[in-house]
Amino acid sequence: MVSSLLRTTTTKRLSPSLLRSRGYHDESFGYRKPPTFAFPDYTEAQLQNRHTNAALLRYVDSVRTHAHRAARIDPLDLIHRESEVAALNPGRYGLPVSDPGAKLNVNGIIWTNPEVEEQRSSEEEWMSMEEINRRLREVYVGRIGYEYMHSPSKTERLWFSHLLESNSVPASAFQAPELRKRIHGLLARSEVFDNFLQLKFPNLKRYGLEGGESMLPALDSLFSSAARAGLSNIIVAMPHRGRLNLLTDPELLKYDSTALFYKIKGGSEWPEELIGEAGVEGDVLSHLISSAHLNYHSNSIKVSLLPNPSHLEAVNAVALGKTRAKQYSLLRTSPETCQLGDKVMCVQLHGDASFTGQGVVMESLGLSGLPHYTSGGTVHLVVDNNIGYTTPIAQARSSQYCSDVGKMIGAPVLHVNGDYPEDVARALHTAFLYRQFFRKDIIVDLLVYRRWGHNELDVPNFTSPLMYEKIAERKSVPRIFEERLITDEVMTEQEIDSVRKTYRAHLDSALAALPEHKPSLSSPTSPVSSTNLEMKSSWSSITWPTSSSALPDPDTGVDLDTLRELGKASVKVPEGFVVHDKVGRFVKARLGALEGKGVDWATAEALAFASLMSEGTDVRISGQDVGRGTFSQRHAMLVDQRTEGVVVPLNEFLPSSGGAKVGKLELANSSLSEMAVLGFEYGISWERPDLLPIWEAQFGDFFNGAQIIIDTFVASAETKWLKQSGITLLLPHGLDGAGPEHSSCRLERWLQLTNDRFSPSSSSSNANAESTINMHVVFPTTPAQFFHLLRRQMKRNYRKPLIVAGPKALLRLPAAASSLEEFEPGTKFQPVLPDPSLVGKEKEAKRVLLVSGKIYYDLVKERKEKGLEGKVGIVRVEELSPFPFRELGDVLNKYDLGSGKEVWWVQEEPRNQGAWPHVQERLGNVEVLVESGVQVKYWGRKESALPAPGIGRLYKEQQERVVKGAFERL
């Protein structure tokens, strides 16, 4: 039935020009055109009947549209509903309600045949009004409410109405005794588990599933449908509610119950070997993870639950990115008939209040159909308690349903009553069929209740006494289900009791084993192996940062002839391809740079990408306008001015290095989102250590739209969850008169988020003391430094986030250009750059200016104008975290600081911002400064509530004071 629906529906490709008026971005690598489906259209006879029986057609469409308002979907019956939905009254449409036996031709109006092609019959099909009403009410006014008529797609509306009205997914299929017994096991074990924890750990905030136990059969049905369809992986994102129930169920994620109890008692989820020197501190109970291989009728599927922060819904975009990354090889090697979602599916669980209230939900839904962000369709399961913490729905949302936010992308919604687990399982199977057929998102709104408050120690009666009076009076969902099983003679009381006692005995045994439990590196949940702290699975080529085999400072130089060849390939224009005149000049400038005229930032970046790709590394850069670049500096994607055809030269003309497979560059021009897009790229970085993932902010200031992702994932995932990431953030930074929101990537915030040591001796005794520092924050001043940083990200055998305060004014500044020799073998990134004009003459300097970033060039220019080249040294601190104690000390040692010389820290950012709050104490612990007794003086703007002034005159006055004042009294 369902299989025949999928098999016989025809697929028709539509012209790209019909899909989008401008589609040239879509044609670059990483975009796979989704199939477009055309449902068989009505026959002439059906169209004529729809005209003849227009009143019946209006009535049927009205039922399809409005019946969810009358469906019995609320277990507590507390949702405000009309006493009668007038749109469901056939009498309002002029139909013969007074004669229930009157027959009408329903051909082309109501679907009765599961076979799609046979449904096109021109033969008349007669049903009485009584039969019509009964069929429509059985389908649409039951315990599942359907919303799909809002879809702008005629094919999707037809698909749904045909699937439902032809009974292609019959309710009887979910009443099979064995299935009902399996459902019972899930419900009963969940209740036993919650009762056990309440008894043994009464003060625990466990965020149990009481009232929402149907979540487990919902997921079980979804996993089963996916396994039978041939999927191999499911990525699950979920909040805390019911997480422990899902984790520990022996038929689902199979997390060791003893390990859970160990964590509850204050123990670690990670082995002791990783705590301390390895820098691991773990996370709370409700964020635990597991991956399990599940088998459904000999079909195996791996289900992976991602770690999540307490910030609800933040993990959604991370899950989407990880899901897409698992399919990356598909984009490179498979035929077009193989689609995203064939093997991997994202499943997201939500709470009703957060699904409505958190903006990242909208941002993530907005990514779902974009060319470089779709992962093949997500199934969303909203565990709908009809309350958020203590806030009732009337104050939690402005829409009727919490799922209404999904209508922004035309997602269908299935509302289902959680008191009826068989219907829940059927709803999830239906949702999977839609996702599998259209590869689009769909939402299941699982209406349940929360027996306790937000947590088990809360008293919900304070604010919702009537709701909780009703909850207290009713039996639990598992007990109600058990009564039905006994009535239907599916199970006996003894069998039911046996299920509960068996699982209780299992939990007792797991708790008794607690004294002998010790987390081990060999545990399936540990991403690190016991062999020299090497990583597992797809990370097997990567080591843990504190491992003795870690390589923190690899050689990143490249042969010059190779660089010239790669650079030419980066701007090669196909024959007959017409580029914009300014892009033509850009191409000529790059070719000139390769011949010794000085390498600018965009060229250095292209050389880094190209050299990595020629060695087999893939690169993905994501963000707003990344193909061209915010400042028209990149032009990694060329557009034909006549046809809007696109070419990415590095994907077309790049030679390989030593026979290696050439990598691909994915230019993912994003929606106007920061939080979801950065989360997506971060999820990619979790899955693929062999890819350089980059997120570029349009301006560095705009990163704060993604602050939750930064705080809870980028900065802390390694310490909490043992998750390495090579995510690279490019954040254009620098005061240039553009005002408060186009000047600063807030270096001070990034540096505050690091766990950088305050002195060289305060770190662990590990030989690689920097290895426990959570991320690198850099402010490079030359294109060569930027080149080496990008290559270092991939040449290391471990991964750390890299935060680059990137250039704006320096992008085309001739003084900032690098020579090609700075890229050759033997060169690498330098955390500190000495003053090139004082090499060998450092002792002659009277003052040393320590700087970071673009102000270096302003100071060099001012020094020259004042004729102070030999009297002032300007030293650049290029890497702010980890703070370069040794490298800075080596440079300052040459200045003979014991002879009364001054050392100033100079920055253009306000005193309470920029690098100064981070470096102030650390500079005091640089050995040469300690021994010489020199106190570093701050010079720069005063404290400010703004990163930069918005008044142009004020900006110029402040900037001039900072630059000129650095040379006062000399």
What is the per-residue pLDDT across 189-212, written as a single tens digit (0 to 9) for each?
999 999 999 999 999 999 999 999
Residue 763: predicted pLDDT: 47
For 608-617, write each residue's pLDDT tens digit: 999 999 999 9
Q: What are phi and psi of 618, to 5 degrees?
A: -85, 150
Which residue is associated with the tokens 């809360």?
458
SS (H, E, C) 175-218: CCHHHHHHHHHHHHHHHHHHHHHHHHCCCCCCCCCCCCCCHHHH
For 545-596, write each residue's pLDDT tens digit: 988 889 999 999 999 999 999 999 999 999 999 999 999 999 999 999 998 8
The average confidence (pLDDT) of the chain is 91
- Smallest CA-to-CA distance from 477 within 207, 209, 197 is with 209
Res. 219 pLDDT band, cuts 50 70 90: very high
Strand partners, 347: 236, 379
Strand partners, 691: 618
Bond preceding residue 882 cis, omega within 30 of 0: yes
pLDDT at 723 over 50: yes
Identify whether the C-beta of residue 682 lies closer than 8 Å to the C-beta of residue 318: yes
Res. 289 pLDDT band, cuts 50 70 90: very high
Identify whether the C-beta of residue 459 lies closer than 8 Å to the C-beta of residue 453: yes
**3-state class (DSSP) for residue 414:** strand
For 57-72, write each residue's pLDDT tens digit: 999 999 999 999 999 9
770 vs 962, which has greater pLDDT? Answer: 962
User: E strands, 279-321, where?
Assistant: 290-296, 299-305
For 326-353, write each residue's pLDDT tens digit: 988 766 666 666 788 999 999 999 999 9
The alpha-carbon radius of gyration of the chain (Å, integer) is: 32
Residue 465: predicted pLDDT: 82
Q: What are phi and psi of 293, to 5 degrees?
A: -90, 120
- The H or E element that residue 938 is part of is strand 937-941
For 836-887, write each residue's pLDDT tens digit: 999 999 999 999 999 999 999 999 999 999 999 999 999 999 999 999 999 9
State the Cα–Cα distance between residues 438 and 37, nearest whole angstrom. 8
pLDDT at 743 over 50: yes
State the Cα–Cα distance between residues 253 and 302, nearest whole angstrom. 10
